[in-house]
Amino acid sequence: HLIMHRGLMSVAKEVYAEISKYIDLTGPNHKIVLNGHSIGGAVSILVLLLLVEERGAEFVNEKFLRVFTFGSPPVTRFANDNEKESNSDSLDMHTCSILESLSLRNDMIYGYVQPWDPIVRMFSRIDPLYPLIGDLGDDGVTLYANGPPRTLRPITRAILESWENWPTFRDDYRGVMNQEYMSVGVQHLLMPDTGRYLTDRLVSMNVATFPIDNVLRVSSKELYDALESAFPLDTFVISLVPTAIRSFIHHFYPAYTDFEDYSKKRKANEDKSMRVSRDEASSEIKNLKMIDVKERVNPVVNKEIEK
Q: pLDDT tens-digit profile of 273-304? A: 666 666 665 665 555 545 444 454 445 445 54
The burial of 301, by beta-carbon neighbours within 10 Å (0-12 exposed, 13-18 middle, 19 or more buried), is given as exposed
So what's the pLDDT on residue 50?
96
Do residues 102 and 61 lie in contact, with contact meaning Cβ atoms separated by under 8 Å? no
- CA–CA separation, 196 and 209 (whole Å): 10
Share of the chain above pLDDT 70, in %: 65
Nearest to 156 by CA among 239, 272, 93, 80: 239
- CA–CA separation, 195 and 198 (whole Å): 5
- The string of pLDDT tens digits covering residues 58-69 is 999 999 999 999
Q: How many CB atoms lie within 10 A of CB 262?
A: 16
Alpha-carbon torsion angle 161, 166, 171, 173, nearest 10: -120
Looking at per-residue pLDDT, the higher value among 127 and 134 belongs to 127
* Total-model pTM: 0.73
| Residue 67, CA distances (Å) to 55, 194, 261 in order | 17, 29, 20
Number of H helices, E strands in the chain: 12, 7
So what's the pLDDT on residue 165?
81
So what's the pLDDT on residue 297?
44
Nearest to 129 by CA among 95, 173, 165, 85: 173
So what's the pLDDT on residue 305?
44
Of the CA atoms within 13 Å of residue 113, those in its CB half-sphere come to 31
Burial 64-85 (b: 16+ CB within 10 A, else e): bebbbbbbbbbbbbbeeeebbe
Q: How many residues does the chain have?
A: 307
Do residues 47 and 13 lie in contact, with contact meaning Cβ atoms separated by under 8 Å? no
State the DSSP string of 42-76.
Answer: HHHHHHHHHHHHHH-HHHHHHHEEEEEEESPPP-E
